[in-house]
Amino acid sequence: MNYARFLTATSAARKACVIRVVAGIMEKAPKSLIPLATGAPNPNTFPFKTAVITIEDGETIQLNEQMMKRALQYSQSAGIPELLSWLKQLQVNLHNPPTIHYPSSEGQMDICVTSGSQEGLCKVFEMIINPGDNILVNEPIYSGTIHALQPLGCNIINVASDEYGIIPNSLREILSKWKPEDSKNPEKNTPKFLYTVPNGNNPTGHSLTSNRKKEIYELARKYDFLIVEDDPYYFLQFNKPWEPTFLSIDVDGRVIRADSFSKVLSSGLRIGFITGPKFLIERLVLHTQVSTMHPSTFSQVLVSQLLHQWGQEGFLTHVERVTDFYRKQKDALLAAADKWLHGLAEWHVPTAGLFLWIKIKGIDDVRKLTEEKALKKEVLLVPGCGFYVDDSAPSPYFRASFSLASPEQMDVAFQRLAQLIKESL
């Protein structure tokens, strides 16, 4: 892998910040070291002294005065060491990446903590995309990704998908405009990466099948592009066993994977993590050094204490409880849809995630129905047009989330929606 060819001039020019390097030394230094280098504030001035956090089983996480001093202080840009090591072992156990034992210069798997996976993805995009670059996505696509990509001036090429995710033949047809060897010629402008949400795609709830992932990965090898695997709903898969990931079949070191704890631990703590080839992860960390400096140390310490207290088995047991909750929520929304929207709309049963993607029959554009009429009836939905690069184009789809509403509220909402649809036809 020639990773240098994927970097923007800005990313290639990044250098290690000497102050951030010093912070890393401080983290590992013996107490005998005299700290005259760092501008870290004296923790004795912090007003917060101790904390006790109660978790779901009644157990507690206790941060004594010494731990609080550390949690409220600057930390390493890549993440605190004990959280990084726990996450690395989690990735090895869940995905068994082929690259885990590769030389560091040849795509060895590395990891960094980010302030939620969205922040990490923005840095990935800014690391790779120059104006005019071609990138591949599958619409409908998470609106946050669209808004992160568009200002970078890239050409966003849509690959057709269905209820089983990206259609490999569609990708193959798009790529046939180039020859495999064109990737070595910058003037040919071959696609730099494919971005996809492989499980519980937001907004559709669709998931890529294992066989399609293998076909897509082979095309990535043939045409030498990266795969950005944005997988915030990986832990919210409703069917077992979980599908193999792109990371698990990545023999080249061409997959950049974004994970998130937002859906299973807390969205407000803003803890995500990016896994990928060491060369590229180092670029992301250099960006962090001069932007956010590091993810919240307090959030990292809290999450790390919880994960070490649980162990991987305890964490996955918690994940199963969360998934069971959302499975029941999904079933309740589907029951309401079957009851009220049968004949008026169509949908596929989501295999993961938090969303149901619904197409209303007989109405080409549901924007007014969802944004005005439904809102007047106190039902909040997202019109489908917001998940396309051209958000001005009419769309018969809308997205309904089953994360927050009660089953009773879902039933009432779809009853009101059904009446509005009938009045609009």
Euclidean distance between CA atoms 227 and 385, whole angstroms: 25
Output the pTM of the full model. Answer: 0.96
Write down the domain spans for the chain.
Answer: 3-40+76-312, 45-73, 320-423
Alpha carbon distance 273, 229 (integer Å)? 12
Q: Return the DSSP state at 150.
A: G
Q: Cβ-count burial of 27 within 10 angstroms (0-12 exposed, 13-18 middle, 19+ buried)?
A: middle
* Domain 320-423 annotated CATH 3.90.1150.10: yes
Provide the pLDDT for residue 45.
96
For residue 25, the model assigns a pLDDT of 82
Q: Are 145 and 230 in contact (CB under 8 A)?
A: yes
What CATH number has the domain spanning 3-40+76-312?
A: 3.40.640.10
Residue 66's pLDDT is 96
Q: Report the number of secondary-structure helices (H) and strands (E) in the chain.
A: 13, 15
| Sites in the chain below the pLDDT cut of 70 | none
**Residues in Cβ contact with 191 at an 8 Å cutoff, skipping those fewer than 6 apart:** 134, 135, 136, 157, 174, 175, 223, 225
List of residues 6+ apart from 276 with CB closer than 8 A: 109, 110, 253, 255, 256, 257
Tens-digit pLDDT profile for residues 228-250: 999 999 999 999 999 999 999 99
pLDDT of residue 282: 97
Q: Quick one: DSSP state of residue 372?
A: I
The order of strands in the sheet holding 255-260 is 109-114, 272-277, 255-260, 226-230, 193-196, 134-137, 155-158
Asked whether the beta carbons of 374 and 420 are under 8 A apart, the reply is yes
Distance CA 116, CA 185 (A): 35
Q: For residue 122, what pLDDT is reported? A: 98
Residue 394: both structure tokens together: 């009419």
| pLDDT at 37 (0 to 100) | 82
Element (H, E) at 233: none
